[in-house]
Amino acid sequence: MLTDKQQERIFLSAPHMSGNEMKYISEAFETNWIAPLGPNVDAFEKEIANYVGVSEAVAVSSGTAAIHLALSLLDVEMGDKVFCSTFTFVASANPILYQGAVPVFIDSEPETWNMSPQALEKALKDASADGKLPKAVIVVNLYGQSAKMDEIVSLCNQYDVPIIEDAAESLGSTYKGKASGTFGKFGVFSFNGNKIITTSSGGMLVSNDVEAIKKARFLATQAKDPAPHYQHSTMGFNYRMSNILAGIGRAQLEVLEQRVQARRQLFNRYNQELSSIPGIHFMPELKHTKSNRWLTALTISEEVTGISVRSILNALSEENIEARPVWKPLHMQPLFKGANYYSHSENMSVSESLFNSGLCLPSGSIMKKEDQMRVIKCLEESLKLKV
Ligand SMILES: *Cc1c(COP(=O)(O)O)cnc(C)c1O
């Protein structure tokens, strides 16, 4: 018997199958395509490319692999600089280290929580003055919200530095009507188990540069030279997606719009029920953008509410509710100790203050309304506003 305290667990972002996945998986089994590559992979690549409106896409084993391939394609090498959003998951920046390159972290700005054009401009100016511009800028769209792409693209064009758009969290989002992930030289999506759609594990690299994606395919399949014997003149990777997993992806993509709607609805309900409490601020949505609201994120001021984020997370955890702090900025991580960091302004580090007061609430599209009300009630109670 479950006691009150042991109610069913509410997850942060559980996978949500459409019901059609087995159809594509069965097809793979019936035709014995139990291999990396195959018809589901080809179709999934085309379907994603069509959906976001780019020329080419290559399906890979993870979002991290896609970022790594993008850096390889941009010839990022030992000692090169790469700029990266600081307020993100470590996977955005690990591939910089794989290449032996040096990350420089760029702060967020308050309107999108994403890369501050102001900080980016300062970093580019400094790098240019040093005679060593970055080989790439990795821009992250946190929790589904697009960064200020107009400003960022314009700055990067000015200095002729290519953009890798880490859209791992923002598939289905738009910026001025254009799909998230299509603003840079390369875009990256993730289909990890907790993302808005999932293949259990997987990723996609997209670009309008057809040749570059062709090369990505080559690199991702061990860089086999076109020869009947096994010949290799370049170092490659084993990064392709399996035909089984691509089948899951095809069925998931069919319901992406519904998943976006469901997550936005969850966000709206949290916002409606909680935003009148003093000291609570939900993650904004920039004008002319549409976030997929992958995770509902908010800040809670300890000064105003008298309760810390840690205590709130503990209270939720006691009710068997999985909530999380926001990402810890990468420039604060022991792994990147000593890395260069550009804050939004001289006396304002936006990512650090968001980290001090931010949290993410359960946001899975599979979550029922009663479950969400349980989360809301628990939050209200811990904020001493008993309903
Ligand atoms: C999930 C995620 C990734 C990595 O994707 P994987 O498929 O898990 O390798 C990269 N960047 C961000 C911002 C992510 O949230």
Instruction: Give the pLDDT of residue 387.
Output: 41
- Output the CA torsion 160→166→170→174 (10° steps): 10
Instruction: Give the pLDDT of residue 7.
Output: 83
Residue 110 Cα to ligand 1 middle (Å): 22
Q: Is the pLDDT of residue 239 over 50?
A: yes
Rounded to the nearest integer, the mean pLDDT of the chain is 95
Instruction: Set out the domains of the chain in order of their start, with CATH numbers.
Output: 21-253 (3.40.640.10), 256-384 (3.90.1150.10)
The predicted model gives 351-373 an average pLDDT of 97
Q: How many CB atoms lie within 10 A of CB 260?
A: 23
Distance of CA 221 to the CA centre of its chain: 24
Instruction: Identify the band that residue 5 occupies on the pLDDT scale cut at 50, 70 and 90.
Output: low
Q: Using one digit for the tens of pLDDT, what is the confidence trace for 68-109? A: 999 999 999 999 999 999 999 999 999 999 999 999 999 999
Angle at 193 (CA atoms; ends 332, 257), nearest 5 degrees:
105
Residue 180 Cα to ligand 1 middle (Å): 15
The predicted model gives 109-123 an average pLDDT of 98
Instruction: Give the pLDDT of residue 34.
Output: 83
Give the least confident one: 33-37, 40-44, 63-67, 193-197: 33-37
Q: Using one digit for the tens of pLDDT, what is the confidence trace for 151-187? A: 999 999 999 999 999 999 999 999 999 999 999 999 9
Instruction: Give the pLDDT of residue 4.
Output: 56
Kindly state the tokens that stand for 32: 């014995």
Compute the distance between CA of residue 133 and CA of residue 120 in angstroms, rounded to an integer.
Answer: 12
Nearest-CA residue for atom 14 of ligand 1: 168
Instruction: State how far the alpha carbon of 212 is from the alpha carbons of 178, 218, 282, in Å.
Output: 22, 10, 39
Q: Is the pLDDT of residue 309 over 50?
A: yes
Task: Give every strand in the sheet of 289-290, ordered side by side.
Answer: 178-179, 174-175, 289-290
Residue 96 Cα to ligand 1 middle (Å): 14
Nearest-CA residue for atom 8 of ligand 1: 192
Nearest-CA residue for atom 5 of ligand 1: 63
Q: Which atom of ligand 1 is nearest to the CA of 169?
A: 15
Nearest-CA residue for atom 11 of ligand 1: 92
Instruction: Give the pLDDT of residue 156.
Output: 98
Compute the distance between CA of residue 327 and CA of residue 179 in angstroms, rounded to an integer.
Answer: 24
Instruction: Give the pLDDT of residue 33.
Output: 86
Give the pTM: 0.96
Nearest-CA residue for atom 2 of ligand 1: 168
Q: Is the pLDDT of residue 235 over 70?
A: yes
Tell me if 145 CB under 6 Å of ligand 1: no
Can you say whether the dihedral through the CA atoms of 251, 254, 260, 263 is positive or negative?
negative
Residue 311: burial class (beta carbons within 10 Å; 0-12, 13-18, 19+)? middle
Q: Is the pLDDT of residue 386 over 50?
A: no
Instruction: Give the pLDDT of residue 385.
Output: 59
Name the residue of 141, 142, 190, 200 to mutate for ligand 1: max ligand atoms within 8 A of Cβ.
190
Residue 206 Cα to ligand 1 middle (Å): 15
Q: Is the pLDDT of residue 282 over 70?
A: yes
Task: Give every strand in the sheet of 296-300, ordered side by side.
Answer: 280-282, 296-300, 358-361, 324-325
| Nearest by Cα to 68 from 98, 111, 32, 29 | 98
At 131, the amino acid letter reads: G
Instruction: Give the pLDDT of residue 384.
Output: 75
